[in-house]
Amino acid sequence: MSFKNISRSTPKDDFPFLPITKREMTARGWDGIDFLLITGDAYVDHPTFGHAVVGRLLESLGYRVGIVPQPKWRSADDFARLGRPRLAALVTAGNLDSMLSNYSSIGKRRRRDAYSPDGEPGLRPDRATIVYCNRIRELWKDVPLIIGGLEASLRRIAHYDYWSDSVRRSILADSRADILAYGMAETSLEQIAARLAAGEDISMIRDVPGTCWKTHDISSAPGSLELPSFDDVRGNKKAFAEAFRVFYEEQNFADGRVLMQDNGPWIVAQNPPSLPLSPDEMDRVYGFPYARMPHPSYGGKEIPAFKEVSFSLTSHRGCFGECAFCAIASHQGRVIQPRSRESIVREAKILTDMPGFKGYIHDVGGPTANFRNPQCEKATVLGPCRGKSCLFPKPCGSLETSHKDYMELLRAVRALPGVRKVFVRSGIRYDYLLADPQWEAFLKELCAWHVSGQLKIAPEHISSGTLRRMRKPAGGATRRFIEAYRKINKKIGKDQFIVPYFMSGHPGCNLQDALDLALFIKDSSLRPEQVQEFTPTPGTIASCMYHAEIDPLTGETVHVPKDAEEKRMQRALLQYWLPKNRQTVLMALRKMGRSDLIGGSKKCLIK
C-alpha cells in the first residue's frame, strides 16, 4: 500500500473534523465531495471508529470526503445533504452488525446503543447496510456504491441470520451495491479510489484483493472455486456447513482462491484477502490527524463506546486465537499486524495533552492484548496454516511466544511524563502466556504495574467437550493460570482479582457441561458478575454449528442447545448463587438427578 501523502483537503486547526454539513464543506472552500461516507455510528474522529479511519485514509490520498453519520433513513433527504459524490458513496452499518446492536440474544430490542449520543437507541435501522444503500439508489441510480464494515464483511456470502432464523443471501446481492470491501479494507479502498479517479467504470474493478463483486457469468473468474449456491445452502444443512468450511479455509492472502457463489439474482465472487499491513503502514493509519473527539454537533453528549477507548492505545490488529464464536478471524484476519513501538509511544504522548486526561492509559492492546508478535515468520509470508490452528488443541511448536516486546512497550508508555498508570484491559490469552518460557516474569510485572485491581480473562468454559467446539484450550490451563495469578499477587502484596468471562448455550454444551462449569466456579471461589449467552453472529464457526448442527471443520454432529428451557437452565447454573436463579437451578439439578447438590453441605450448590 503506497499511502501517498498528497492531501489537498487538510482540515483547519480550529475545526479538525471532516465535514458533515454543507456549511462545513463550504468553509473548506469545497463545491463538492469525491466520496460520501454513510455510517450507522455517531461521528467520532478516533482511530477505533471505522468511518474515521476510512475518511482520514481517503483524505490523506488527496480526496474530498464528507460524512453523514446516523442519517434519518425513513426518507432519502438526509443522504443528499452533501450533494452527489463525484467518485462513490461508501456505506457501513458502523462498528457493529446492526442486528446485534439493536437486539439482545433473546430478541428483545436493546435500550442502549453504545455508538450513539448518550447511548440513545433507535438511531440506526435494522439491516442498516441494506437500508442505507436503498436510499442512496433512490437518489442516484448510477453512483458507484461500495459497502464495508463489520456487517458487510461478515455477511459477504450466504449466511445464517439468527434474528430471522433463516439463511440469507450475500449482503452484496441484497444491498444493490457494486463492490463489498471486507476486512479492514484500507488497501482495497486505496486501489478502488485510484481506479475510479482514473475514470475506470466500477463494473470493471474485479481484481482487487479483499473485495467481493457481482456477475451473471459463473466463468468470469478462471480458476475460481464454486461454493454451493444460496438455494443449496438454504435447504441443506450439510451443504451450508461445507460452504462455510471452504469459505473459512480460503481466507489466506497468499494462496486463497477466488470463491464464486450463486446468490439468485447475482453470482457473488470473493477475491482472496488483502495483504496484512506492514508496521510502517499500520503506523501511517494510526498517525492520521484524528481530532480524537466526537463531532461538536452532539453538544457534549457522551458517546459510550468512545468513553471506553478515549485513552486507550491499539497496539496491533488480528488474532490467531481462532475462538469459534469470534468473528475476528474472518474480519481482521489471523495474522498479527503490529504497530511500531515508536508509533504507539507518539500516540500516548498525544493522549497526555488531551482534555480530561488524568494520567491513566486505560489499555494497550488489540483483540487480544498479549498477541503482540506475529505468530511465526511463516505466517507473515505464507499466511496462516491451512487446516491448523496456532493454539488449538495446544500451542504449535513454531509459535513465537516471547512477551519481551510487549513488556518493553508497556514500560516505554508508563515511563512517559504525565502517565501515572498503564492498564491492560483488552484481555490476556493465558494459554499463550503460559507457553512463554519466561511467563512468570511477565505475569509478575503485569500484576505489579498493569492490573487495575481486576484482570479480565475469558476461559468461556471448563468442560472439555464444550471447549473443543469453542476451539479453546483444555481446562487445565485455566486452573494453572488462576493459581499462578493468585500466588504472584500474594507474593507482591496485592489484593487483586480475576474477572472471568463464561459463556452459556454454546454449540456442543449440554446441561452436564454447564453443571461441570458451575462446580468449577464454586471450587475456584469465583463469582462472575456477567455470563454471556451465546448469540450466533454471521461469519463465525460457532454460528455455522448452531444452524447446521455440524462442526464444519470436522464434519461431526454437534448438540446445539436451542430449547429455551435448556438455555435458561444453563445460564442460571453459572450464577447459581443469585436468588433470581434459585428455582431454575433447582429444576436443572432435579432434571439431571443431582439432588445431592441441594442442601447444606459444602459440596452443595444451593440450599
Query: Where is the domain boundary, 451, 476, 506?
Result: 451
Residue 285 lies in a domain: no
Residue 480 lies in a domain: yes
Closest CA to 154 of 220, 227, 251, 253: 251
* Average pLDDT along the chain: 95
pLDDT over 90 (residue 10): no
Q: Please check whether residues 44 and 177 belong to one and the same domain.
A: yes
Question: 258: how many CB neighbours lie within 10 A of its CB?
Answer: 20
β-sheet bridge partners, residue 497: 454
Residue 406: strand, helix, or coil? helix
pLDDT over 70 (residue 9): no
β-sheet bridge partners, residue 168: 159
Q: Please check whether residues 434 and 458 belong to one and the same domain.
A: no
Residue 546 lies in a domain: yes
Q: Residue 472 maps to which CATH number?
A: 3.30.750.200
Q: Residue 394 maps to which CATH number?
A: 3.30.750.210
pLDDT over 70 (residue 290): yes
Angle at which helices 439-449 and 475-491 pack, to 10 degrees? 60
Encode pLDDT of 481-506 as tens digits.
999 999 999 999 999 999 999 999 99
Q: Please check whether residues 487 and 563 belong to one and the same domain.
A: yes
pLDDT over 50 (residue 547): yes
Q: Please check whether residues 576 and 428 belong to one and the same domain.
A: no
Closest CA to 463 of 532, 518, 389, 543: 518
Encode pLDDT of 308-333 as tens digits.
999 999 999 999 999 999 999 999 99
Kindly state the average pLDDT of the residues 62-87: 98
Predicted pLDDT at 92: 98
Predicted pLDDT at 473: 86
Does 393 sit behind a cis peptide bond, omega within 30 degrees of 0 on the bond before it? Answer: yes
Q: Cell digits for 331? A: 474480519
Q: Please check whether residues 89 and 185 belong to one and the same domain.
A: yes
Q: Which of 117-121, 216-220, 377-381 has the highest mean pLDDT?
A: 117-121
pLDDT over 80 (residue 47): yes
Predicted pLDDT at 426: 86
Q: Please check whether residues 422 and 502 belong to one and the same domain.
A: no
208/272 Cα distance (integer angstroms) = 9
Predicted pLDDT at 7: 37
Query: Where is the domain boundary, 421, 451, 481?
Result: 451
104/261 Cα distance (integer angstroms) = 31
516/157 Cα distance (integer angstroms) = 37
Q: Please check whether residues 363 and 457 belong to one and the same domain.
A: no
What's the pTM value of the predicted model, to 2 decimals? Answer: 0.95
Q: Please check whether residues 437 and 321 belong to one and the same domain.
A: yes
Encode pLDDT of 262-277 as tens digits.
999 999 999 999 999 9
Residue 198 lies in a domain: yes
Residue 60 lies in a domain: yes
What band does 114 get if pLDDT is binned at 50, 70 and 90? very high
Please count the structural domains in the chain.
Answer: 3
Residue 12 lies in a domain: no
Dihedral over Cα of 285, 286, 291, 296: its sign: positive
pLDDT over 70 (residue 12): no
Q: Please check whether residues 46 and 106 belong to one and the same domain.
A: yes
Cβ within 8 Å of residue 307, ≥6 positions away: none
Encode pLDDT of 232-262 as tens digits.
999 999 999 999 999 999 999 999 999 999 9
Sequence-ordered strand ranges (E) for 186-342: 211-215, 225-226, 259-262, 267-270, 312-314, 316-317, 337-338
Q: Residue 180 maps to which CATH number?
A: 3.40.50.280
Q: Please check whether residues 395 and 445 belong to one and the same domain.
A: yes
Kindly state the average pLDDT of the residues 460-471: 96
Kindly state the average pLDDT of the residues 372-383: 92
Q: Please check whether residues 414 and 520 belong to one and the same domain.
A: no
How do the residues of the chain divide into helix, strand and coil, expressed in percent and rounded to 5? 35, 15, 50
pLDDT over 60 (residue 198): yes
Residue 204 lies in a domain: yes
Kindly state the average pLDDT of the residues 153-175: 98
Q: Please check whether residues 100 and 195 belong to one and the same domain.
A: yes
Query: Where is the domain boundary, 451, 474, 494?
Result: 451
Residue 97 lies in a domain: yes
Predicted pLDDT at 13: 55
Largest interatomic CA distance in the chain: 78
188/472 Cα distance (integer angstroms) = 32
Does residue 90 contact residue 36 with C-beta atoms inside 8 Å? yes
Q: 393 lies in which domain range?
A: 311-451
Q: How many CA atoms lie within 13 A of 67 on its CB side?
A: 27
